[in-house]
Structure 1
Amino acid sequence: MNWDWDKLQEKRDRQQRQRPVRPERDDRDTFDHDRSDEDARTRRPSPGPRGGSSGPHFSMPRMRLPNGLMLGGGAALLVLLWLLSGIYIVNPGEEGVVLRFGKYNRTVGPGPHYALPSPIETVYKPQVARIMRSEVGYRSAGESRTFQQGQVRGIPAEASMLTGDENIVNVQFSVQYRIADPVAYLFNVYEPDAMVRNAAEAAMREVIGNSLIDAAITDGKLQIQAEATQLLQTILDRYGAGIDVIAVQLQDVHPPDEVRDAFKDVASAREDKSRIINEAEAYRNELLPRARGEAAALRNEAEAYRAMRVQNAEGAAARFAAVSEEYAKAPRVTGQRLYYEAVEDILKNAGDKVVLDGKIPEKVLPYLPLPGLKGAQPATGGTEKK
């Protein structure tokens, strides 16, 4: 009986494909079973004299990788990925704080670094160059953090403070700070932002309690800011917070709403007083230099006049001494010469001159219109007008 071996083989192949897959038992049984199935599928009878198959024909089985080796490769890949997860980058303006089994180990700067993967080592990256801000007495609305009317929400419980003269004032201020020691900032305090706000409120209450309300509202704000900054830094250093306070800035200082109008009037009066004082100071600063200049000019003129008079007197004294010495040598000649010089000094400044010779002066009335001599008639009896 001749069998159609090709059709029989195709039927067996279809049955093998439709057969459900049995669960695997172990590596050896699975490998042997797969090899027996492969042998059964590839075994073909040899062809007979009429084109049929005269006997079975065997082909080489296909090799498969054991499941244990595949699991080992997957585990090695997972270990490699776990080791590579320790690579991290610290950005500019940050510092990397590395903990090993929860204990501080080291601090690294910006750049790529490697740490043993979690849970062996843990990395924190605080932003040490960032200027942070804490608000006391109010909260800004939105991300702009600008203090403008209508964009803030007051916190009366934080803003209400008592001054040194037992007056109530509402103080709204902000604190600017940065991280100075990242290790202390991360592990010495809990919730550092809330701690900074509470410490700033305590420091400001102490400073306001030592100040008068007039200074807090008008011209004492700069001193209050400086004292609050120094006191807040002292408190944070005592806590070991690792925070450096940059500035404390007063945003708004005003009395309660019930007495705000009265305080505005007082502040206006103080401003008027300061304005008037400044105007008086300006007038004084303008007048005093001018008076000092005039006094210096008068003093210089007096000094010059004194020096001139002294020098003239000294010259006259020296001339008199010289003439006296010459008079002692020749009294008659020197006396006549002095008489001529004296007459010359008298007559050189006279405009009109009247000379009477001989006995004429005895007959003439000794009254002459000397001031109006040009209009007078010359006297008779030998008068000569020069």
Structure 2
Amino acid sequence: MSWNNQGGGPWKSPGRGPWGQGPFGPPPTGDLEEIIRRVQEALAKLTPGGSGGGGGKGFGGRGALFLVLAAVLLWFAWGTFYTVQPSEVGINLVFGRYTGKTAAGLNTNWPWPIGSVIKVPVWDQQITEVGYRSIGASADIPEESQMLTGDKNIVDVHFRVNWQIDPAKPEDYVFNILNPRETVKAVAESIMREVVGLKTIDGILTTDRASVEADVQKRMQDLLNTYRAGVLVKQVQLQSVDAPSQVLSAYRDVTAAQQDQQRAVNEAETYANKVVPEAEGGAARIVAEANAYREQTILEAKGQTSRYNQIYEQYKKAPGVTRERMYLETMEHVLGPMDKTIVDSNSASPPVPYIALEPLQSRTGASGK
């Protein structure tokens, strides 16, 4: 016998077994005997001589007993074996009491009404949507999606939870929670509100989405483990996070202004990063040039001092010769770059007055070059 856990299992009342007791309570002793007695009476009526007297009474009793035994064997053989699909785990019950779980394949259990089997699809991926529905006319459900952030702003949060039944503890999923889907949805919405309440609106709209998803998944799993719900939370995905539709346009304007402000700040920082190094480089170059000029001036002054000291030493040894040499060097330094013609007035043959000296000087200069 296969059934699911929606609506309280094989019995209608939550926490009640097929005999009116809890899933682990003792069964009454008279019900099985009553069922067997009724089956015997029904079979006796169907057999020849089952309802009459006379000589056929003994044959009818033996035939009824044979049919009862055949029915019991058929009932036992037919109801004992059952198949579990690869994506399922079987939960065995005997008189409503949990006795163990079975893997995929052919398995056995007591037939109904003594035993029953719950086949739980543990490998099927379940999806719970909060704040919206992907199927149906209502794309947004404000009572689920509107949440309050830590800085007292309202945001619309649409998200989905991917989960599955824990293959290691399917009995917890079957027996410990009455409505698993609603429980997972309630836990997801509650945890998401808690996490969003710890974030600012700017963070949850931009950089904190990944951390919100991971935090919600961990908190959900911890809480469901506390409930012993037998549920594994595989993933939490934020589908959309936005300001409420009533103020969405105004919020987008504020966001655009903040982006413009940030862009202006970035441009100013870029300009500063360009200008400041250039100014620092120029200042360093000026300081280096000043230091070089100072060193050059000091070295030149030291060189001049040393030269004059050497000249003075020579002057003390031979003042006349030194003065003559200094005079000649000075004249050479002063008159050297100038165009000049030296005429010895004491010469016996002075130059002819009409000879042009300038062409001669130009030609001499050109040949010297």
Same structural fold, with TM-score higher than 0.5 when normalized by the shorter chain: yes
Contact 1:161–1:170 (Cα < 8 Å) also in 2: yes
Look up the match of 1:139: 133
- Is 1:177–2:162 an aligned residue pair? yes
Query: One-letter code of the match for 1:103?
Result: Y
User: What SS does structure 2 have at the residue aligned with 1:90?
Assistant: coil
Of 271, 274, 290, which aligns to 2:258? 274
Q: Gapped runs of 5+ residues in structure 1? A: 1-22, 30-65, 143-150, 359-385
How many residues get paired? 281
Q: Is the 8 A contact 1:100 1:121 kept in 2?
A: yes
Of 113, 119, 124, the residue aligned with 2:119 is 124
> Alpha carbons of 1:71 and 1:319: their partners in 2 closer, same or farther (altered >3 Å)?
same
Q: 1:319 aligns with which of 303, 324, 348?
A: 303
**Alpha-carbon distance, 1:191 to partner:** 1.4
Q: Deviations over 1:208-246 (max 9, x none)?
A: 55667x659965873765655554444333323333252
Deviation at 1:283, TM superposition (A): 1.9
Letter paired with 2:107: Y
The whole-number CA distance in structure 2 between the counterparts of 1:129 and 1:352 is 111
Report SS of the residue matched to 2:255: helix
Match for residue 286 of structure 2? 302
Using the size of structure 1 for normalisation, the TM-score is 0.53
Tell me: CA distance 1:71–1:138, structure 2 relative to 1, closer, same or farther (3 Å).
closer
Distance change >3 Å, CA 233–CA 345, structure 1 → 2: farther
> AA paired with 2:92?
L
Shift of 1:193: 0.9
Paired position in structure 2 for 1:198:
186
Alignment match of 1:152 (pick from 138, 148, 158): 138
Instruction: Give the SS at the match of 2:177.
Output: coil
Residue pairs, 1:106-121, within 5 angstroms:
106=101, 108=103, 112=105, 114-116=107-109, 118=111, 120=115
Q: Are the counterparts in 2 of residues 221 and 250 from structure 1 also a CA contact under 8 Å?
A: no
Partners of 2:227 and 2:284 in 1: how far apart? Answer: 70
Corresponding position: 1:189 with 2:173:
no
Q: 2: distance between equivalents of 1:164 and 1:345? A: 89
TM-score by length of 2: 0.55
Structure 1 position 198, deviation (Å): 1.4
Task: Output the CA distance in 2 between the equivalents of 1:137 and 1:80.
Answer: 50
Query: Residues 250 and 320 (structure 1 numbering): CA distance in 2 closer, same or farther, change over 3 Å?
Result: same
Change (3 A) 1:166 1:267: closer
Which SS does the other structure have where 1:127 is aligned?
A: coil
Distance 1:337 1:107 in 2: 124
* Pair 70,160 (structure 1): closer, same or farther in 2 beyond 3 Å: closer
**Match in the other structure for 1:54:** none
Q: 1:249 aligns with which of 228, 238, 250?
A: 238
- The secondary structure found in structure 2 opposite 1:197 is helix
More divergent stretch after superposition (237-246 vs 219-228): 219-228
Aligned to 1:380: none
The answer on whether the counterparts of 1:98 and 1:106 sit within 8 Å (CA) in structure 2 is yes
Residue-by-residue CA offset, 1:132-156 (whole Å, 9 max, x unaligned): 32222333325xxxxxxxx534434
Stretches of structure 2 that go unaligned for 5 or more consecutive residues are 1-47, 50-54, 346-364
In structure 2, relative to structure 1, the CA distance for the partners of 1:211 and 1:140 (3 Å cut) is same
Cα distance in 2 for partners of 1:285, 1:268 equals 25
**Deviation for aligned residue 1:342:** 5.1
- The answer to whether the Cα contact below 8 Å between 1:217 and 1:253 also exists between their aligned partners in 2 is no
Q: CA deviation at 1:73?
A: 8.6
User: CA shift at 1:302, angstroms?
Assistant: 2.6
Equivalent AA in structure 1 for residue 141 of structure 2: I
Write the deviation string for residues 272-329 of structure 1: whole angstroms up to 9, x where unpaired: 3223223313322431232134224424533542453244235425533542553354
For the 8 Å contact 1:216–1:253, the answer to whether it is kept is no
Structure 1, 282-291 or 331-340: larger mean CA deviation = 331-340
Q: Which has the larger radius of gyration?
A: 1
Equivalent-residue separation in structure 2 for 1:266 and 1:286 (angstroms): 30
* 8 A Cα contact 2:122 2:166, kept in partner: no
Equivalences for 1:1-386 in 2 at 5 Å? Answer: 82=79, 85-91=81-87, 96-99=89-92, 101=94, 102-103=97-98, 105-106=100-101, 108=103, 112=105, 114-116=107-109, 118=111, 120=115, 122=117, 124-128=119-123, 130=125, 132-141=126-135, 151-161=137-147, 169=154, 171-179=156-164, 181-182=166-167, 183=169, 184-207=172-195, 215=202, 219=206, 222=209, 228-241=216-229, 242-244=231-233, 246-251=235-240, 253-255=242-244, 260=246, 263-306=247-290, 308-313=292-297, 315-317=299-301, 319-320=303-304, 322-324=306-308, 326-327=310-311, 329-331=313-315, 332=318, 340-341=328-329, 343-347=331-335, 350=337
Deviation at 1:195, TM superposition (A): 0.6
CA 1:106–1:201 in structure 2 vs 1: closer, same or farther (change >3 Å)? same
Code of the aligned partner of 2:100: N
